[in-house]
Amino acid sequence: MFENRLFIETYGCQMNFSDSEIVASILSSEGYSLVNDPHQASLILINTCSIREKAEERVWKRLRELKSLKKKNPELKIGIIGCMAERLYEELLFAGHGVDLVAGPDAYRFLPELLSNTLQGAQAANIQLSFEETYEDIEPLRLDPSGVSAFISIMRGCENFCAYCVVPLTRGKERSRHPETILNEARNLFQRGYPEITLLGQNVNSYYFKNAHLSMNFSDLLAKVAEIHPSLRVRFTTSHPKDLSDKLISTIASYPNICKSVHLAVQSGSDAILKRMNRKYTRNEFLDRVRSIRKMIPESTISTDIIAGFCGETEEDHRQTLSLMEEVGFDSAFMFRYSERPGTLAARKYPDDVPSEVKARRLQEIIDLQHWHSLRSNRQDIGKTFEVLVEGSSKRSRAMLSGRNSQNKMVVFEPKKATRGQYVRVRITGCTQATLIGEEMEDDL
C-alpha cells in the first residue's frame, strides 16, 4: 500500500528524541521518507524508554492499538527500538504482539539489514551493546519542525549504577564522542538557523575524550561550543551532583550564551536513602554544590528529580527530603513515586517495602511543596525583563507567543513584532506556578 514510508513515535527523554533523529537519518539514506500519520506508513518504529514502569505500559498499550493497522495493511512492519527493546526483546517478539523487529540503542546502523530480514516474513533482532558506538559520523535528521532548538548527543551509556536505574543495563558502557564532531555539528546547526542547542548525555558532566592528540572534559567542551557564536544559546542536560565541578560552574558563569539553568537530580534528602540508591554523594555534598551555584551564578535556576518511596524509606527519610527542598528552594522538579525495575541493584537487593498508598501520599506532599516553591520563584520574577527565545504560539492561545528565558522558564506574551526563532525582551507582569506572563518590549533584540 505504502512503500518506504517511516513513522517514528518517541517515548521518554530528550536522549530518545535525539536517537530518533539518528534512526531517521539512517533510514532516509536507505530511501525512507518520513510521514506524520501512522496510517500512511509502511514502517512504524516505536522508540522506547524503560526508566519507569509507566513508560513501558504505554508501549504495550500502543502495540495493542496498532493491531488494527496491521489487519488493514498486512505489509506494515512494526519495530520496537531503544531501551525497552534491549530489556524485553524476547517478550516483544512473541507473535501475539505483532512486532517484526527489535533493535537496541547501539544497533541502529543495522536497521536496514534487520528490515531486509523481515521482508520474508521473519522476525529480526539486534540488541548487542557496544563499547565504542557513538554515531558521531551520522548527521541526525532533525524532527523538530520549529527549527528553533536542536539536540546534540555528546556521549552514550552510563556507569553510575544507581540502584533504581536500568540505563547502565540498557545503554551500556559510558563513552564520549570526539569533540570536533560535536563542534562541527553545533556549527552546522547554527549556520542552518538554529539559535539554540542542548548538549545531551546520561551524565554530561562526566564527558571526557582522550586520544593521542587531544584530551577534553565537559567544561572545556562547553566553552568551545559557546565560543562558536555569541548568539548561539547553549543548554545541557543532565548533571550528576558528584561530577559538578567548580570549574564547570565557573564556565557557565563566564559565557552569557550558556543558559543559567542547572538541572541537578537529588532524588532524596536522606543520607541513608542516598547511600542505598548508590548515588555517591551525601546530603551535605549536594548542598555544597547548590551553594557553589548560588555564589558563582546567582541568577541561575536549579531544577531537580525526586523519587518518593524508595526501598526502606521511613517517615524521617521523607521529612529530610522535604527539609532539603525547603533549604534549596528548587525552581522546578520532576517528581515520581518509586517503581521497581527488573534487573537493577534495588530489585536484586532491596524489598520494595513502602506501601503504594504511602508512596502516593509522600509524592503528593513533595508535589504540593514544589508547586509552592515554583510559584514563589516565578513571583520573584515579576517586574524583571528577560531575553526570550520565541519557540512558537502558546498552547492555550494562538494569539500569544511562548518561549524560554536563559533560566529555562516558559514565558508567554502577546507579540508586537516578535516571530518564531527570534530573541526578544519581555517584561514579566504576572505568573502562574508553571509559566511567566509578560509583555514584549519595543527594544527587541
CATH number at residue 73: 3.40.50.12160
Could you tell me if residue 131 is inside a domain? no
Could you tell me if residue 139 is inside a domain? no
d(CA 115, CA 81) in angstroms, rounded, equals: 13
Answer yes or no: are the C-beta atoms of 384 and 277 closer than 8 Å: no
Query: 132-151 pLDDT, tens per residue?
Result: 999 999 999 998 766 899 99
- Give the pLDDT score at 145: 60
Report residue 55's pLDDT band, with 50, 70 and 90 as the boundaries: confident
Pair (376, 402) in one structural domain: no
Pair (237, 154) in one structural domain: yes
Pair (71, 173) in one structural domain: no
CATH number at residue 293: 3.30.750.200
CATH number at residue 409: 2.40.50.140
- Give the pLDDT score at 2: 66
Report residue 423's pLDDT band, with 50, 70 and 90 as the boundaries: very high
Answer yes or no: are the C-beta atoms of 152 and 186 closer than 8 Å: yes
Could you tell me if residue 134 is inside a domain? no
Could you tell me if residue 411 is inside a domain? yes
For the purposes of burial, counting CB atoms within 10 Å of the CB of 298, is it exposed (0-12), middle (13-18) or buried (19 or more)?
exposed
Pair (20, 93) in one structural domain: yes
Answer yes or no: are the C-beta atoms of 107 and 128 closer than 8 Å: yes
Percent of the chain whose predicted confidence (pLDDT) is above 90: 88
Average pLDDT of the residues of the chain: 94
Does the pLDDT of residue 1 top 60, yes or no? no
Pair (360, 292) in one structural domain: yes
- Give the pLDDT score at 112: 96
- Give the pLDDT score at 143: 87
d(CA 42, CA 32) in angstroms, rounded, equals: 9
Answer yes or no: are the C-beta atoms of 350 and 276 closer than 8 Å: yes
d(CA 434, CA 445) in angstroms, rounded, equals: 25
Mean pLDDT computed over 327-351: 96
Pair (166, 235) in one structural domain: yes
Pair (162, 252) in one structural domain: yes
Does the pLDDT of residue 436 top 60, yes or no? yes
Show which of 259, 279, 294 is a domain's final residue. 259
Number of domains the chain is built from:
4
Pair (336, 393) in one structural domain: no
Could you tell me if residue 49 is inside a domain? yes
* DSSP state at residue 267: B
Pair (278, 324) in one structural domain: yes
Confidence (pTM): 0.93
- Give the pLDDT score at 442: 79
Query: 107-129 pLDDT, tens per residue?
Result: 999 999 999 999 878 899 999 99
Does the pLDDT of residue 368 top 80, yes or no? yes
Nearest to 387 by CA among 365, 368, 413: 413
Pair (238, 284) in one structural domain: no
Does the pLDDT of residue 445 top 70, yes or no? no
Mean pLDDT computed over 155-182: 95
Could you tell me if residue 133 is inside a domain? no
Mean pLDDT computed over 407-431: 95
- Give the pLDDT score at 443: 65
Show which of 91, 126, 161 is a domain's final residue. 126
Strand partners, 363: none
Q: How many CB atoms lie within 10 A of CB 158?
A: 22
Show which of 259, 283, 318 is a domain's final residue. 259
- Give the pLDDT score at 259: 98
Pair (80, 167) in one structural domain: no
CATH number at residue 200: 3.30.750.210
Report residue 85's pLDDT band, with 50, 70 and 90 as the boundaries: very high
Residue 13 — φ and ψ, nearest 5°? -90, 180
Any idea which of 55-64, 139-148, 371-380, 393-402 has the lowest mean pLDDT? 139-148
Pair (10, 120) in one structural domain: yes
Could you tell me if residue 445 is inside a domain? no
Give the domain range for residue 407.
385-440
Could you tell me if residue 136 is inside a domain? no
Report residue 444's pLDDT band, with 50, 70 and 90 as the boundaries: very low
Mean pLDDT computed over 387-413: 93
Cell numbers found for residue 63: 502495540
